[in-house]
Each structure stands twice: as structure tokens, then as C-alpha cells.
Structure 1
Amino acid sequence: MHPLASSNRIAWADTSSGCFSIKSAYRMIKERLWNLRVEAWNLPWKEERLRCGIGSDARCSICGHELEDVIHAIRDCGTAKDVRQLSRVNSVEAERWIQLRIDETVKINTGCPAAGGAVRENNGKWIIGYNRRLGACSIIETELWDILDGVLLVQERHYHKILEQTDNIKVIEAINDSLSKCSNSAIIRRIAQLLQKVESWSLDYIPGEENIEADCIAKFAFGRGKGLHLFETSFESF
């Protein structure tokens, strides 16, 4: 890890200061309880009532689809698709924007994680792919290493506008939060330092089914040794 990032610090995740409090613990537990007044809980509740035969209507109030489950609300509904499309950088306006898609995977029989990514120009032209097999670490830590590798590779090639895309919402939240407060994670602090040197960047959510290329590159790391591996030609040629 870069010396300027220093070491990790133990912190309570549910307060901005990192200090534990009874109030924050109570709030955290309460947020995980079902509450029909909260739309996020209302969706699975409507679906479950219909499945048990005690409800008659679970249609989407926006598009009229017969079953509005969580997947439909965030992925399949036409309005959700429109919102995702608007959140992405327009390729016509994004001159010299580089698209960095990342993903992580875990080998079931060993629990060993790996990370991979694909870097393309905004017109889809291949720049470079990469993967890395890691030791024992969490899914979020794996994805953070993935982002760090990708940002370093892009900067080494003197690109200054980066559109990063991942299907891990927690990673997006962690990095965005680090911009307003100092993170307790050394790797997040290092990523934040690098992004401050970039002219423009965006970190967006992408559904897993649209991120298959990065997922395949990550899985390919299991057949290789540890360390960072680069792919100068498109992964489609393998």
C-alpha cells in the first residue's frame, strides 16, 4: 500500500466518526426490520402476500407489470432502465472518457477471491484488461483492489477522464463517502488520492448481466499465478 495512505483503523461502520454508540446500533437494527411504510420493504411484502394467497394485486404502479418484485423495480421496469441510461456518460459528449468495468469472483471450493477488469475507449475500442488472484479478503476488499489496479493502469496510460462501473453498490457508497470524510480503510484512502489527480471521473452502478466481460476476466485469474496479469488484446480472443 502507498505510504501516504497509512494503515487501516478499526471503526464502527454506522457513524461518520467511526465511534460506536447505542443510538447508531439501535438505528442499524431498526433499519433491518420490516416496515411497510418504507417502500424498500413494501415490495418484497407485496410479493410474499401474493405468493401466500392473501393478496390480489402486486402489479408495478408505473408500468403495470403483473409482479413488482425488487428485481423488476431496480432492473426490469422501463423507468428504471431509463434512469440507468441517463446516469451514464453520453459517448458523444464524453470525448476521451475511458470506460473501466470491474468485477470480483470467489472460487467456491477454496474461498479464494479474484478480481478483474476491462478498460475500453468510449467507442468500445479495447485498451487493456487485467486480473489478480488475491489472498483471504472480503468481497468489498477484493473489488477495492480491482478499482485501485484499474485506476493505476488508466493513469499510467495518461487518460484523465474515467467512467468506472461496478455491480457492487456498497463499494460505490464507500468511495463516494470517502470524498466528504476520511475513510478508515487504507485502500479507499489511496483510491481517493488517485482520483483527486484525475480531471474527471464517475463511479456508476451496472447490473451484473451487463458486466459479464469483467466477470469472465476475473474468473480467468484462477488458472494463473498471484500478482497482476495484463491482457493487451481483447479477452474475446482467448
Structure 2
Amino acid sequence: MLDVGKILGFQEEYWKIVWKYPGLQRVRAFLWLAFKQRLLTNSERARRGISHCSSCTICGHDLEDLAHVFRDCPPAKDVFQDCGLIWSCRFRLVTWRIWKNRNLFIFQHISWTASEVVKVSSCWGRHYDSHVGDHINNKQGSNLTVNSDDTWVYLSTNWVVAKDSGYATTRGVARDWDGNWIVGFNRFLGVCSPFEAEFWGILDGILILFNKGYRRIIIMTDNLEVAQILIDMDLEDSRITVLQRTHHILQSKGEWRIKHIQEIRIW
């Protein structure tokens, strides 16, 4: 039987490794499924009788098992060659992100570069090192001046993606410092991933506020990954169009802050 512990570089009993992990609960769940041989690789799907093909969808290798997905497949090799992270702190996050991005590519045709995978994994790790859920206000636009806080406006967005069709819509609302309504908006996006829908909502909201003359914006999001990407904002080489456009706007216009909250209710 395949020894997942050896594949992932762990020597302790898997239940100790999983529940000692201090990060995200979803990563613990992912690790548990991996150690229990429950991740639906093509070989596992074929074993269960829900697929007739056990080969790798990405590279065509004859057998897509866990060893192939996390060690031998070219995208995984590229990630680990690019990975300069401390293994004990970040390896689990990187492995989880490889699995998520593999599914994004197979089911939604969205592809991230190896450096983007490592960068996002590192962002998640750094954030949890400094306590999850704290408000993130530590980076602002490069031309920030000392003004009173009541000149800032809040932008909150939300999105919905239909499970069957993949069609997405995004909506948002902007309020002033005192909570008074400024503007609301919504937009049909067509087929779109939840990750992209989140960024389209933010981009639309920023452009609407800029057109109304507002230049100091606090972007509120309940998506930790989106918050970290916006904070680092090193996305010039990203192949995802909406990330490139958001990066360009935030680097060239106005002043901005990112605030991570637990849940957004915009209506």
C-alpha cells in the first residue's frame, strides 16, 4: 500500500501530524484525506468505479496517484523547485495549494504559475504566524498623506457562482466613514470561478468610486487569500486578467487599505 507519510516527508503517525498542524482547518481536513487515501485522484476514482481512466489529466502519465500529483507531475516539480519556504512551516500549505490549483486547472481551466502558488502559500503562512483574523491595515497606497480618517470610504463586495452552469454574478456596496450609503452595484460575469468573481467585484467597485471622485478606499473582504494577494500586490506577471487590472489600478491611482473580516453582509 502507498505510504503517504513517506511521500509527503513525514515520519510521525499521520493523526498526530494532522491535528498538531496549527494552521487552517481546511488544510487539516486535506491532510487527513490525503493520509487516509481519500483524495479523488484519477487512480482512486478508477478504484472506486467512478472513472475508467487512471492516467494524469495534466501530463498524461499512466497513473495519477498521490505520489504523482504531489511529487512527480511537472506542475508539482515546478512548485518545489521554485519553493524557498521553510519546509516545517509551509510545506503543508504548498501541498494543499497544489491540489487546489490542480482542480482549478482540470475543472475550470485556470492556471497559476509555480511562483504564484508559492507566493500565495507563503502569504497564508505569514498571516497565521501573526494570528488569523486580525484586521489588516498595514499597507496603503504609496502616495498616502496624513489626513483625517473620515475621508475614507468602505467597499464591500460579494459574489454568487451557480453550481451547475458556473455562471457568476458579483455585487457590492460603498459606504462613507459613518456608514451612510454611497452607491450599490451588481454585474453578471458569465462563467467565472469564485476567486475571479471576488476580484471582479473589487475592481468594479474601485472604478465606480474613482469615477465618483473618491480616492481613499478601504477594501473589506472575508476571503483571507484575496486579502493576502492584495496586500502583497506583486502580480505583474500573473496570467489572470482581473488580477493584472486590479494591480494596475491600485498601483497607479488613489490610496487604499485592506481589511479582513470574518463575514460580509452587504445588504
What residue number does 1:139 align with? Answer: 194
CA distance in 2, matches of 1:99, 1:130: 14
Match of 1:160 among 193, 215, 236: 215
Say if 2:220 and 2:259, in contact at 8 Å, map to a contact too. yes
Structure 2 residue 154 is the aligned partner of structure 1 residue 99: yes
Deviation per residue, 1:176-231 (Å, 9 max, x gap): 333475333222121122112333201221212xx112xx5xxxxxxxxxxxxxxx
Mapped partners of 1:157, 1:112: distance in 2? 29
| 1:39-82 Cα distance to aligned partner (Å, 9 max, x none) | xxxxxxxxxxxxxxxxxxxxxxxxxxxxxxxxxxx9xxxx977x
Equivalent AA in structure 1 for residue 135 of structure 2:
R
Q: Deviations over 1:63-116 (max 9, x none)?
A: xxxxxxxxxxx9xxxx977x4398799xx9413101001111223454422111
Unaligned stretches of 5+ residues in structure 1: 1-18, 35-73, 217-238
Unaligned runs of 5+ in 2: 1-73, 96-127, 141-146
Task: Choose between structure 1 and 2 for higher RCO, CA contacts under 8 A separated by at least 6 residues.
Answer: 1
C-alpha distance 33-193 of structure 1, shift in aligned 2 (>3 A): closer
Q: 1:31 maps to what in 2?
A: 92
Counterpart amino acid of 1:169? L
Tell me the CA shift for residue 20 of structure 1.
5.2
- Residue 172 in structure 1 maps to residue 250 in structure 2: no
CA distance in 2, matches of 1:171, 1:118: 18
Q: CA deviation at 1:158?
A: 0.8
* Amino acid in structure 2 at the alignment position of 1:31: R
Q: 2:252 aligns with which of 197, 207, 214?
A: 197
Alpha-carbon spacing, 1:180–1:115, altered in 2? closer, same or farther (3 Å): closer
- Please state whether the residue corresponding to 1:207 is helix, strand or coil: coil
What one-letter code is carried by the residue in structure 1 that aligns with 2:198?
E
- Contact map agreement 2:154 2:175 (CA 8 A) in 1: yes
1:174 and 1:32 mapped to 2: Cα distance?
15
Quick check: 2:236–2:247 contact (8 Å CA) kept in 1? no
The verdict on how the C-alpha distance between 1:86 and 1:133 changes in structure 2, with shifts beyond 3 A counting, is closer
Aligned residue pairs total 148
Instruction: Output the CA distance in 2 between the equivalents of 1:129 and 1:100.
Output: 10
2 CA distance for matches of 1:174 and 1:184? 14
Alignment equivalent of 2:135, drawn from 52, 62, 84: 84
**Alignment-mate amino acid for residue 132 of structure 1:** R
**1:206 matched to 2:261:** yes
Number of the residue aligned with 1:119: 174
Tell me if structure 1 keeps the 8 A contact 2:135–2:259.
Answer: no
AA partner of residue 199 (structure 1): G
Distance 1:85 1:182 in 2: 24
Provide the C-alpha distance between the structure 1 equivalents of 2:187 and 2:138, rounded to a whole number of angstroms.
29
Q: Which runs of 4+ in 1 moved over 6 A?
A: 26-29, 85-89
Q: What's the secondary structure of 2:149's corresponding residue?
A: coil
Give the % identical residues. Answer: 25
SS in structure 1 at match of 2:150: coil
CA distance in 1, matches of 2:196, 2:170: 10
Secondary structure, counterpart of 1:162 in structure 2: strand
Superposition deviation, residue 31 in structure 1: 1.4
Which stretch of structure 1 is more off in the superposition, 113-122 or 179-188? 179-188
TM-score, normalised via structure 2 length: 0.46
For 2:196, the aligned partner's letter is E
More helix by share: 2
| AA aligned opposite 2:150 | E
The yes-or-no answer on 1:150 pairing with 2:201 is no
Letter in 2 for 1:162: I
Corresponding residue for residue 6 of structure 1: none
